[in-house]
Homo-oligomer: A and B are copies of this chain.
Amino acid sequence: MDIRVQATPFDFGAEAEAFARGQGDMGAVVTFTGIVRDVSGGLVSMEIEHYPGMTEKALETHAREALIRFQLGDVLIIHRFGEMRPGEMIMMVATAAPHRADAFQGAEFLMDYLKSRAPFWKKEIMQTGTDWVAARDEDEDALGRW
C-alpha cells in the first residue's frame, strides 16, 4: 500500500509500470487517472486545496477498506494539490488482484470515496474569474452502491 499526497507532478507511466511489475501473483491491474480538462474553454488552471493530515488519514482508511473488501494484493494512490494546468494529471489510483472484477471494483470504490470523502477542494481559475467546483449529486449517489 502506497499513498502519496504531493504538490509535485508524478510520472503516470513510470508509476503504473512499477506498480504492475511489482505484483507477484496478481493477474489483474487496473489504473485510473484524473486529468485537468478545460470543459468550458476558458480554464487557465485548476487549484486544489487540501487538509494536510486528514487527507492522508482518509485515503489510508479507504485504501485499507478496499484491500480487505476486494481482496486486493496492492493499492497505490497519488493525489496532487496546488496549481495545475489543463492536461496535467491530478491524481491516480492503481489496484492489483488475482481476478479482474476485484481489481476494477477496488479501483471504482477508491475513486468514489476519494471524490466525496477525502478532503480536497477544486477551484477553477478561468480567464473571467475564479470558481469553486461544486460537488456533483451523482458523486454522492455513487457511494450508495458500496
B-binding residues in A (CB < 8 A) = 11-18, 20-21, 23-39, 87, 89, 98, 100-101, 103-104, 107-108, 111, 142
Q: List 13 A-B contacts (CB under 8 A).
A: A11-B17, A13-B14, A27-B35, A28-B33, A28-B34, A29-B31, A30-B30, A30-B32, A30-B107, A32-B103, A32-B104, A104-B107, A104-B111
Do B104 and A104 touch across chains, with their CB atoms under 8 A apart?
A: yes
Residue of B nearest to A16 (CB): B16
Q: Which residues of B contact A25 (CB under 8 A)?
A: 37-39
With A100-B111, A104-B108 already in contact, the answer to whether A35 and B20 are too (CB < 8 A) is: yes
With A101-B142, A107-B104, A142-B101 already in contact, the answer to whether A20 and B33 are too (CB < 8 A) is: yes
CB distance from A90 to the nearest CB of B (A): 9
